[in-house]
Structure 1
Amino acid sequence: MRNHPELLDSQIGKLVGTTKSTIQSIRDRTHWNSANLTPVDPVSVGLCTQVDLDKAVQKAFKRIEKRKAEEAKKYESEGITAPESVTNEQIQEINIEEKIEVTTNDAEITSEENFEENTVPEEKKDQDEKEYTSDSVFAKLNELKKED
């Protein structure tokens, strides 16, 4: 759920079926199995549906927008300019600088990955080439449904 920081722990817990304490221990890297945990999209693993994830994200965005509106109203009543009064040009400049940094970092990571791929033994390459799709994973399940 890295890609959706706007989601609350309670929303994540409902989507993937876990507790807040487990979510927090995974974030803190204190979970007993944290060495073996890798970030994976919960939809591709089958923990929740894309529709449920989209609804939770929309709900989170509405909550954030409502909070921003309340803060703006608070700032207006106090006569203080809101932090949202930053111009779009300033925001775009910041975004461009961040994109340049990310692109540079991605290029470095990609070059390192290419080097590592070229040095991996052939046995490991065969294992990596075996890709799973939702159809291949659920093929047996579909066959069972057709027999009933």
Structure 2
Amino acid sequence: MSIPHFIDIEYCQTDDALFPTAIAWSLADGRMKTVVIAPDDDWLPQDEDLPDIDLRYLNEQGVPLIELARALHEDLPDQIVYTDGLDPDEILVDRIFDAVDMESPFELATIAELIPDLDTHTLEDRRRELLFSNGLDPQLPENGVYALLLLAQEEGLTDQ
């Protein structure tokens, strides 16, 4: 049995902007990768301050979009990748790949599609409880992915 793939994307959203700032994803063996994303200039509003976003940090520490796109192509080709279903994940993934004129190598689905026996509210309650009980900051994408991995493990969907 292989481990399902999960992804979580943190993002900035204002009236004039919506763009990813960090991303984490899991690999088939359960390991995770996480990166800060250097934003595309086209994503940034011209005359607006971005709340709680340090653009200098993103530009200095962030991975260039082409490198991120290549890593996702390498790690998740032809995969179904599951999200918590709470964020505008599809839009954010499209922003990443549109910026580098590439197609996404994976299909997004929600955790509810992986675990259809539980309703969306129950899944979200369990995900939040896993974050809380493990002392995980929900704002970090790697913690979101870890919580989804734990949830899949609880449901017997992993071999670990």
Q: Report TM bin, short chain.
A: under 0.3
User: TM-score scaled by structure 2?
Assistant: 0.23
User: TM-score scaled by structure 1?
Assistant: 0.25
Higher share in strand: 2
Please identify the structure whose Cα radius of gyration is greater: 1
